[in-house]
Amino acid sequence: MRRTALLLASISATLLLASGVALAASFPGHWESVTGEESLYYYNPEKVYPAVVEEEARGWTALDGRFNGRGVRLIEVGSQAEATVLIDGYRDCDNKDLLGVSRNRERGPNLLGINTCALDGRSRKMREHVITHEFGHHLGSGHQPRKFCETSVMLELVPCGRERTVLTKPGTTDVSWYKNRWVS
């Protein structure tokens, strides 16, 4: 299988924010998908893979339960005004290697983009992986190094270029990251 790029458009923004205080300061208001009460409110008006979106939101929210409510809850809402993340299906058939994208916006909810042209023809497993990955960015995670290809959903490329190693839920590396970020 060819290597498939995830999220090239937002990698730099995400990693820059994670790695540099000065740069973070130059992007005020970015990545506020999680509110002060540690909830993420998502809205999926176009019903983009709705069952998968719900399942993967539950997958991340399960960590909140695992850590006794000290994590983040992902909650579906029914209007853009209530949302901090807008699920946005788009069709970019010229860039089918780009499966999903997360973008912060200064006004309105941040965007979680899903390239349906790329994913309509892929397995449910791949859709689950991409949506879990993008939610991971909205929870504040950048990308993990390739050495974590079998323990993280947050690799820049589909893990090791092999679909069989694709995770559909946060892996042990992601749980460690989450614990440091949200629980400890």
**Residue 45 has which token pair?**
């008006």
Q: Which is nearer to Zn ion, 6 or 65 (CB)?
A: 6
Q: Which is nearer to Zn ion, 11 or 77 (CB)?
A: 11
Are the CB atoms for 72 and 182 separated by under 8 Å? yes
Q: Which is nearer to Zn ion, 73 or 143 (CB)?
A: 143
DSSP 125-143: HHHHHHHHHHHHHHTT--P
Say whether residue 139 binds Zn ion (CB under 5 A).
Answer: no
**Residue 27 has which token pair?**
């992007």
Say whether residue 98 binds Zn ion (CB under 5 A).
Answer: no
Which regions of the chain does DSSP assign to beta strands (E)?
Answer: 39-43, 73-76, 85-90, 100-103, 110-115
Q: Which is nearer to Zn ion, 7 or 85 (CB)?
A: 7
Q: What are the residues whose beta carbons fall under 8 Å from the beta carbon of 61, sequence distance 6 or more?
A: 71, 72, 73, 74
Name the pairing type of β-strands 85-90 and 110-115. parallel
Q: What is the dihedral of CA 54, 154, 92, 53, to 10 degrees?
A: 0
Instruction: Mark residues 4-33: x for contact with Zn ion by CB under 5 A, - for none.
Output: --xx--------------------------
Q: What amino acid occupies position 36?
A: G
* Cβ 133 to Zn ion shortest distance, Å: 6
Are the CB atoms for 170 and 181 separated by under 8 Å? no
Q: Which is nearer to Zn ion, 7 or 83 (CB)?
A: 7
Which region, judged by CB under 5 A, interacts with Zn ion, from 1-9, 68-76, 111-119, 123-131? 1-9
Where is 112: in which H helix or E strand?
strand 110-115
Q: Which is nearer to Zn ion, 64 or 134 (CB)?
A: 134
Residue nearest to Zn ion according to CB distances in the complex:
7
Say whether residue 131 binds Zn ion (CB under 5 A).
Answer: no
Say whether residue 99 binds Zn ion (CB under 5 A).
Answer: no
* Size of the residue set binding Zn ion (CB under 5 A): 2
* Cβ 3 to Zn ion shortest distance, Å: 14
**Where along the sequence are the contacts to Zn ion (CB under 5 A)?**
6-7
